[in-house]
Structure 1
Amino acid sequence: MLAETICSAVSAAGLGIAAITAYRRRFLSAARIAAYSLLPLGLVLTGAVEWAVGTAFSLTAWVGFGLLGAAWLLFLTTRAVERRAGGTRKERKAAAAAARREAAEPAASRPSLGRSAPAADPAPSAKPKASRGDDDFSDIEAILKKHGI
């Protein structure tokens, strides 16, 4: 009963402040203040205040909140331990299999060629052959040097 009275008094005071603000020709601020001042009255009329007060002073509600908090802490603890240990069992198995596969065939292998094709790379030549593309690159280099890049 006391909470409802306090909410009603706050709403009445807020509406009074909104009226004074409207008298000063600040209608947008007055409308906003009126909206905020009507919220406590609306909460009283819907019964939300009675529910909140009943919940705040209920022992079973606090025990329930405690159990929810304990479950939340357990969840966070298990997540932290799981991350510290390196993930789940399936994730560790997949990581080990990927490491074995990486050791057997390096990342530079060509997967599009399949397993039957040889993975040998041709030996790099000592001198690259000159081609017509060099002229294009020299133009690009000149432009970059001109701009200081």
Structure 2
Amino acid sequence: MLTSTVCVALSAAGLAIALLAAYRRRFRRATLIAAVALLPVGLYMTGLVSLAGTVIRAVGEWAADLVFKPSVWAGFGVLALSVVLYVLARVAGRRKGVPEAGGGGAVARGAAAPALAPGKKPVPKKPKTDPDLAEFGEIEEILKRRGI
């Protein structure tokens, strides 16, 4: 009951200010003020004001528990440990090249690379040159000479 009265009063005051701005021929400002003034009534009618009150009370209770309950602090410790273990596993896997669970290495990740003999490096392919771009070779040389 009190919430509805406050919301209606806020909207009425805002609309009165909007009418005053319109009387002074500031129509753009009056429209903006009216738009903002209608928010409290709209929020109350949709039930979002009471929802916000419920959320604020829940956050307040959680914050009080955070301060006064050691089990909440232990929960944060468990979450932190979980994050640290996850990051360590990811870093260790990247450094040593250990394949993920399931084996298969590159094939399991979707790559179709040919198998190479141990100790041999793959030979990079030369890019194909476009005959239409051959005339730009001179320009490339000039730019390289000038360090661009």
Q: TM-score under structure 2 normalisation? A: 0.49
Larger radius of gyration: 1
Does 1 or 2 have the higher relative contact order (CA < 8 Å, sep 6+)? 1
